Amino acid sequence: MVKLFSLVLLLFVIIITTEGTKSSYGVYEESGSVKLFVFGDSYADTGNFLNAPSYTAPYGMTFPGKPSGRFSDGRILTDYIASFMKIESPAPFSLRGSSELKYGMNFAYGGTGVFNTLVHGPNMTTQIDKFEELIQQNVYTKIDLESSIALVSVAGNDYYNFLRVIGNNTKDLGELSASLINRLSLNLRRIQSLGINKIAIDLLEPIGCLPIVTQLSSYEKCNDTLNMVAMNHNQLLLQAVEKLKMEMGKSIFVTLDLYTAFLSTIESMQKNHDVMNPLQPCCVGGLFCRSVVCDKPELTFFWDGLHPSQNGWHAVYQMVQSSLPQIFERKN
């Protein structure tokens, strides 16, 4: 009876817990058979940008207790999704080893975008090139890919770099958004053509709520204009994904609504006086953390000027995790 119960649990049950930093979140087919391949920027990077501030203290102080290349004090969304899949986070491509390939590979690189940015790292197209090279080297088989998931989290840096160069002149933002979505669509098609039939795509977060922006209002409010840019991007992305679904004749894609998850969590925390102002970062130092100024990162939403804390990412994960079974249950 115990063995039968364990088998049923393994095959059919999705386990959701509130202990985000200690427990796994779900079950997908046979444990260990699924792999996660990650593409994107610092919201998904778990250690590829070797010279980044994320490899210096106090990054990683909550998990794993030292800097690990994550742009946070601890776990990020990639870790929570891997945990949901009952696997460890896939190894960063920059730190890959033969013994660390069984969970997939993380190609995401902090500071990069769909196109080239001010960071001299691999953009999304180049990340996919590296993925294709591993396939050509027979590191991953067709069976590996067919049972695996791709996570795509990218585009925020494209907007950040555009606004940093152009300044307040936003008349060309529409053209930028169209170009980004067009390239993203091509990249998603390419990931699928390489053999992955389950792809999760992050919608763009409310960029007007990032601390690097809200500091201009003494962390009192989000910038509605920038949030409209994110909303427009997400609308175009959703349309592009629906078009891809129609072209391919099957539901390969699931979108993870980071925009709503961020805003809902921020609004909830603003009503809770027992936590820190969610628009204010735990750390100071501009874009990145130079010194910790908050006593309890577990009560914050943002860690530095751009990135959520582990607590923030866990809250976001809890809001998007209901979308995950939709893609994990698919066989085609």
Q: Any idea which residues carry the catalytic annotation?
A: 42, 304, 307
Tokens encoding 201: 């795509």
Q: How far apart are CA 248 and CA 203, in angstroms?
A: 21
Q: Measured in whole angstroms, how far is the alpha carbon of residue 222 from the centre of its chain?
A: 21
Tokens encoding 13: 């049950």
Tokens encoding 116: 């080239």
Residues contacting residue 230 through CB under 8 Å, at least 6 positions apart: 159, 204, 205, 206, 207, 208, 259
Q: Which helix (H) or strand (E) holds 81?
A: helix 77-84
Q: End-to-end CA distance of the chain, in Å?
A: 33
CB 110 within 8 A of CB 42: yes
CB 91 within 8 A of CB 85: no
Sheet architecture: strand order including 149-153: 91-92, 104-106, 36-40, 149-153, 199-202, 253-256
Across the strands, what pairs with 201? 152, 255
Q: Are strands 149-153 and 199-202 parallel, antiparallel or unpaired?
A: parallel
Amino acid occupying residue 169: N
Helix (H, G, I), strand (E, B) or coil at 149: strand
CB 149 within 8 A of CB 35: yes
